[in-house]
């Protein structure tokens, strides 16, 4: 299974570059990275297995670097892997006081 994400700043309508992202399975850290200038981060191309996984986005430091107040110091997206051979793309649409996500392709 491969895992990637794409973070967009919903207020500015631009990619959110420089957000640290970590991928966990249970309590185990599987991969970590930082969103690129297009807001994208490919975390792993390695198999991670079945079960519950979490993406943890360090949004607080990112907002602080921009001198923007924000309600969420981190965003945690939990998702279930039922087909390990599939690619899992989990985008994040981010604003200071709300966020949304969906299963991408």
Q: What does pLDDT average to over the chain?
A: 94
Global confidence as pTM: 0.94
Residue-number span of the structural domain to which 60 is assigned? 2-101
Domain at 77, CATH number: 2.60.40.180
pLDDT digits (tens, 9 = 90+) for 32-72: 999 999 999 999 887 678 899 999 999 999 999 999 999 99
Question: What are the backbone dihedrals phi and psi of residue 51, each rounded to the nearest 5 degrees, phi first?
Answer: 115, -170
Q: Is the Cα torsion angle 20, 103, 78, 32 positive or negative in sign? A: negative
Is the distance from CB of 63 to CB of 69 less than 8 angstroms?
A: yes
Query: Into how many domains does the chain fold?
Result: 1
């Amino acid at each position: 299974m491969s895992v990637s994400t794409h973070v967009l700043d919903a207020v500015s309508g631009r990619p959110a570059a420089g957000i640290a992202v970590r991928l966990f399975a249970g309590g185990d850290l599987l991969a970590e990275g930082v969103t690129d200038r297009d807001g994208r981060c490919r975390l792993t191309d390695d198999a991670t297995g079945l079960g519950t996984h979490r993406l943890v986005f360090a949004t607080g430091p990112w907002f602080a670097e921009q001198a923007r107040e924000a309600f969420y110091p981190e965003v945690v997206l939990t998702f279930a892997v039922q087909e390990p051979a599939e690619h899992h793309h989990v985008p994040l649409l981010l604003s200071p006081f709300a966020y949304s996500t969906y299963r991408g392709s």
